Structure 1
Amino acid sequence: MNGASREAQASARERFDALTDNTAVDAVKLAEELAAVTALLDREVSLRRVLTDPAQAGEAKAELAGRLLGGQVGGETVDLVSGMVRSRWSSSRDLVDAIEELASSADLVAAQRADVLDDVEDELFRFSRIVSGTTELRAALTDRVAGNQAKAELLSRLLGGRANPATERLVVRLVAHPRGRSLEAGLTALSKLAAERRDRMVAVVTSAVPLSDRQKQRLGAALAKLYGRQVHLNLDVDPAVLGGVVVRIGDEVINGTITDRLAEASRRMAG
């Protein structure tokens, strides 16, 4: 997001955090209702354009949102969405993206309250690895012909009883409503959102063999010192790295593998 949308999204996050700091607010219900609003605005293009029309007064747009959503969703959801449409957005899609993100965040709040946010983070990462490594599964979950109900039933068989309910809700929602994203991109975004929920960075660590607990602790401490904040480690094993580790944080890669050292030596010899 750029410009006005970034500011509007930041304001929405502040209101969301203030709302969900109240443990009396049902975070799971809030997630479901925000997801329903996302689906509505994603489907009704003309409506979302009206709600983001800069020529219309913010209060008028908030009143329209209240009339449309009142009685359909709870008061907290109405207030949150009404506040969002009062803001200025660079594009109508940005508003829908922001509401969808808050829906996911609400499920993560529920996981955090239950002290299972770490589990949800790990499950999202492991599921993304399974999807990327299983062609048949990815094809089934991204098949445009197959109905959402069939995909949900498949995910229920795969995740039901094996993953946290918050993880299952997040994945089912992503598969049912990808909104133009690849499945992998959607899972990566959810994983980052889960890490941000606790103000942590996500590092994908690839090593030739599984790291010991002591190695994980030392690596986590080193990365925390380097970046000035806690870093959550998502661990992957790939014998092709031939020893050492590859650490990817966002677009930055820290490569300490034997393969990389051999490649560097070859470049120097060639030079």
Structure 2
Amino acid sequence: MSSDFRGASAEAVATLTDELDGALSGAPSSAPSVAAGLFEVSQTLRHEGALRRFATDASVPTEAKTGLVGEVLGGKIDDAALALVRTAVGQRWTTTRDLADALEHLSVIAVVTSVGDDSERLADELFTFAQTVKDTPALRDALSDPARSVADKRTLIEGLLGGKALAATQTLAVQALHGTYRTVGVALAEYQKVATQVHGRGVATVRVARPLSEADTRRLAEALSRQYGRPVHLNTVVDPSILGGILVEIGDDVIDGTVSGRLDDARRQLAG
């Protein structure tokens, strides 16, 4: 899944995002319960093919779809989440799976909104946990093992993050277990992207041979923000193989100022 929706689905997501913003601006404390409700419905739609097809069938009157939503979900999820699902089933969707994807995307936005001014911390914690999973084979295998229940994996995550990270970080880490994305790491990367986009930021992955100082980090972030016309959040990865210099990846752009990159260029020139 990706939050890059196309065609009618993109228009539907824009409508739903505006509605979510309005609901949460009036009751910000409800964000966690709204997020939980939206995620629960997204998972139900993924596992119930008949319900998913009915909810996205443009030939079915909207009244019939919203009526069914009320019967099935009324009293079981937050009222604001229920209102969003009613709106969602009345939209047109490019593919049937886009409805479930959109509701999960909205749930992530609600989780991000719940942290308020801690959005930078949330983005950092998601990235750090993703790197930990990537760099720890035993943990990566445990979280991807189909023989282990989600409840068991949830307990593992709670043991790792409980009391050390934001509740929102823990929520999204557990959410990443449900298999919407190819791996937990991919899910966490997508969630981090949403966390920065909600506040109008871009994400740059910065690879360096040794940790940057706080001053260098600040100067790089300011330079990239000027270049791209919006604030940029830095994900810094220490990679001794680049020898020295810096490699920046932001969107489809790659800025290679590393020693290893210059050596590779020299080798290609000599070979040519």
* Structure 1 residue 94 corresponds to structure 2 residue 101: no
For 2:192 and 2:248, the matched residues in 1 are separated by 16
Q: Distance in 1 between matches of 2:133 and 2:181?
A: 17
Partner residue of 1:119? Answer: 121
More deviation in 223-232 or 15-24? 15-24
Is 1:265–2:266 an aligned residue pair? yes
Give CA-to-partner distance per residue, 1:119-172, whole Å, 9 cap, x none: 111010011111111111111001111111111111111111111111001101
Q: 1:180 to 1:164 in 2, by over 3 A?
A: closer
2:192 corresponds in structure 1 to 191
User: Relative to 1, partners in 2 of residues 1:196 and 1:180: Cα closer, same or farther, differing over 3 Å?
Assistant: closer
Q: How many residue pairs were aligned? A: 268
Among 165, 169, 172, the alignment partner of 2:171 is 169
Cα distance in structure 2, aligned partners of 1:231 and 1:179: 27
2:52 corresponds to which letter in structure 1? R
Partner of 2:146: 144
* 2:204 alignment partner, SS class: strand
Counterpart secondary structure, 1:235: strand
Check if 1:30 corresponds to 2:22: no
- Cα distance, 1:221 vs structure 2: 1.4
SS of the equivalent of 1:21 reads helix
- Cα RMSD of the aligned pairs, angstroms, is 1.3
Per-residue displacement from partner, 1:165-216 (whole Å, max 9, x unpaired)? 11001101211x1225211210110110100111100001110111112211
TM-score if structure 2 supplies the norm length? 0.95
Identity %: 40
Deviating more after overlay: 248-257 vs 79-88: 248-257
The equivalent of 1:156 in structure 2 is 158
Deviations 1:15-65 (A, max 9, x none): 111211223551111111111111221221100110100111223322221
Q: What's the CA shift for 1:70?
A: 1.1
* Aligned 8 A contact 1:203 1:231 in 2: yes
Take 1:161 and 1:117, find their aligned partners in 2: how far apart are those partners? 18
The Cα offsets for residues 223-262 of structure 1, whole Å up to 9 and x where unpaired, read as: 1111111100111111111111111112321111011111
Whole-angstrom CA distance in 2 between matches of 1:15 and 1:210: 42
Matches of residues 1-271 of structure 1 in structure 2 within 5 Å? 1-112=5-116, 115-175=117-177, 177-271=178-272
Paired residue secondary structure (1:209): coil
Extract unaligned runs of 5+ from structure 2: none
Query: After the TM superposition, which parts of structure 1 deviate over 3 Å for at least 4 consecutive aligned residues?
Result: none
Residue 93 of structure 1 aligns with an amino acid whose one-letter code is R
The CA distance in 2 between the partners of 1:230 and 1:19, in whole Å, is: 26
Letter in 2 for 1:201: G
Retained in 2: the 8 A contact 1:203–1:248?
Answer: yes
* Aligned mates of 1:233, 1:22 — CA distance in 2: 32
Shift of 1:2: 2.1
Kept after mapping to 2: 8 A contact 1:5/1:90: yes
| Distance in 2 (alpha carbons) for counterparts of 1:253 and 1:238 | 16
Contiguous gaps of at least 5 residues in structure 1: none
Q: In the aligned structure 1, how far is the partner of 2:268 from the partner of 2:67?
A: 65
